[in-house]
Structure formats: structure tokens, C-alpha cells
């Protein structure tokens, strides 16, 4: 009996499918917060938030308590133009966590990498964002839209608004509907010409981007953000 050999194209597709499956499995096992980042928050987060937060809040009796860290992202250009692609977010290589003082949610702190080492990027008193982070499941993605001062999370192509800022849309919506709403609003603000700072290093010049009226309403929040030198914590 003669056995037929599988055609090479068929074999190639089979091997490719196996390879893609292995890659997908490896990606699923990759922690959303790298081990060294998690270790930095555990070892230095409380001290950083306590020291830096003293100038942002009223006097507190005890040290700051820091919650779990979440990876920060920006929306991809495809989402911002209303046509979401398979990869809707762009990693900022920054991680954010909420902190509390005397049992009260007080603000957030952000870590990034400086010359390969995890370091403090910023501390603020954005209590609204901090409160939104507290109930999030571990591994959730936090997505910022700088032009609107808004924060979101996305899971299974469902977008949930954490902090609306100037975003005018439903609290929860499918990604396609959210992207359409976001694109319309961004187009109305800046004519679709402005791009967010993809590396997340610093804050966009909001005054130039959205005009005096928006700054008047949101300038207080923006002013609260401040950067410390990389050597202040590490």
C-alpha cells in the first residue's frame, strides 16, 4: 500500500500554527508587571510616596501604603483615529500604583526605567485615579489619553473609563464604539493633528493642545504632577 506524503505547503502551515501557539502561550505566561518593577514598588514605593507626598497632602501620621502596580499605556494611533487594529495600546514602559495615607486614598506614584534601573518617575495627589485603581484586578492595563486627562482600562475589547477627565462618552463600551467616540472628540479638539508623547516621558503642553478654556478647567490637576530626579529613589 502506498502512503501519500503530506504536501509541503500543508506541512508548513501546520508548523507555523504550532509555532504561533507556542508564542501565544509564552506571551500569556509573561507577567504584566516585571519582577524588578514589582520588587521596586515593594521595597521603595512606600518611602517614595511618603517622602514625595508630604508636599502634596496634609500632614499624615504614618507612612504611605502602596497598592499593586499596573502597566501604563497609550492608545494606538489606530484607536485614536477611530479604526482600532489588533493591538489597540502602546506600552509606555511606566507603571502606576495607588497610595494611601492614614487609610485614605491619597494619590498615585509612577515608576519607570533609567539606564535600565527602575526608579521613581512621579508622585501626585490624583486621588480620583488612585480610587479607580484600587479595585482593579491584578494585571489590568491602564491606558491614558493625555489630551483629555482621562484614564481607561481595557479587557476583552471592552473599554471602561476610570477617570473621565474631558472624555465625553459612556463609562463602558466595546472598543470599536469607544474608538469612534474618542476619534470624534480628538478631532474636535485639535483637528487630529496632535500626537501624544509615545514614550510617556513628561506631560504634553496642554495649553498648546487644547486651548485656554480647557487649561482653565484642568490646569490645577496638571500642575499637581511633578517629576523628581531619578536619583531620589532607587
**Cell (9 digits) for 187:** 478631532
The pLDDT confidence band at residue 203, using thresholds 50, 70 and 90, is: very low
Q: How far apart are CA 170 and CA 208, in angstroms?
A: 27
Q: Which CATH number fits domain 31-226: 3.30.450, 3.40.50, 1.10.10, 3.10.500?
A: 3.10.500
pLDDT score of 195 more than 80:
no
- Among candidate residues 211, 198, 85, 90, the one with its CA nearest the CA of residue 148: 211
Q: How far apart are CA 138 and CA 70, in angstroms?
A: 7
Q: How far apart are CA 153 and CA 140, in angstroms?
A: 7
| pLDDT tens, position by position, 76-86 | 999 999 999 99
Higher-pLDDT residue of 63, 212: 63
In the prediction, which pLDDT does 196 show?
52
Please work out, in degrees rounded to the nearest 5, the angle formed at the alpha carbon of residue 108 by the alpha carbons of 58 and 135: 110
Q: How far apart are CA 122 and CA 126, in angstroms?
A: 11
In the prediction, which pLDDT does 189 show?
85
| pLDDT tens, position by position, 101-130 | 989 999 999 999 999 999 999 999 999 999
Task: Decide if 69 contacts 38 (C-beta within 8 A).
Answer: yes
Q: How far apart are CA 72 and CA 203, in angstroms?
A: 14
Name the pTM for this structure. Answer: 0.70
Of 136-145, 172-181, 186-195, 205-214, give the lowest mean pLDDT range: 205-214
The pLDDT confidence band at residue 58, using thresholds 50, 70 and 90, is: low
Q: How far apart are CA 199 and CA 144, in angstroms?
A: 12
Query: Which residues, in sequence order, are CB contacts of 69 under 8 Å at separation 6+?
Result: 33, 37, 38, 41, 45, 95, 96, 97, 111
Any idea where the domains of the chain sit in the sequence?
31-226
In the prediction, which pLDDT does 97 show?
98
If you ran DSSP here, which 8-state letter would residue 202 be given? S
In the prediction, which pLDDT does 52 show?
79
How many percent of the chain have pLDDT more than 90?
59
Amino acid at each position: 500500500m502506498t502512503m501519500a506524503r503530506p504536501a509541503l505547503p500543508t506541512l508548513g502551515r501546520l508548523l507555523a500554527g504550532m509555532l504561533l501557539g507556542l508564542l501565544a502561550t509564552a506571551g500569556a505566561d509573561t507577567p504584566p508587571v516585571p519582577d524588578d518593577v514589582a520588587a521596586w514598588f515593594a521595597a521603595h514605593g512606600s518611602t517614595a510616596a511618603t517622602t514625595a507626598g508630604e508636599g502634596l497632602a496634609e500632614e499624615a501620621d504614618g507612612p504611605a501604603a502602596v497598592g499593586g502596580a499596573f502597566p501604563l499605556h497609550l492608545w494606538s494611533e489606530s484607536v485614536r483615529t477611530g479604526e482600532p487594529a489588533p493591538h489597540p495600546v502602546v506600552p509606555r514602559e511606566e507603571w502606576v500604583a495607588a497610595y494611601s495615607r492614614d487609610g485614605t486614598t491619597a494619590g498615585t506614584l509612577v515608576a519607570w526605567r533609567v539606564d535600565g534601573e527602575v526608579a521613581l518617575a512621579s508622585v501626585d495627589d490624583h486621588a480620583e485615579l488612585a480610587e479607580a485603581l484600587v479595585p482593579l484586578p491584578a494585571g489590568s492595563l491602564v491606558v491614558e489619553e493625555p489630551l483629555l486627562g482621562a484614564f481607561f482600562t481595557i479587557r476583552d475589547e471592552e473599554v471602561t473609563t476610570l477617570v473621565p477627565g474631558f472624555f465625553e462618552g459612556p463609562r463602558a463600551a466595546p472598543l470599536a464604539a469607544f474608538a469612534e467616540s474618542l476619534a470624534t472628540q480628538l478631532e474636535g479638539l485639535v483637528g487630529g493633528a496632535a500626537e501624544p508623547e509615545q514614550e510617556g516621558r513628561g506631560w504634553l503642553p496642554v495649553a498648546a493642545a487644547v486651548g485656554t478654556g480647557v487649561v482653565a478647567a484642568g490646569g490645577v490637576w496638571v500642575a499637581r504632577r511633578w517629576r523628581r530626579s531619578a536619583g531620589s529613589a532607587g
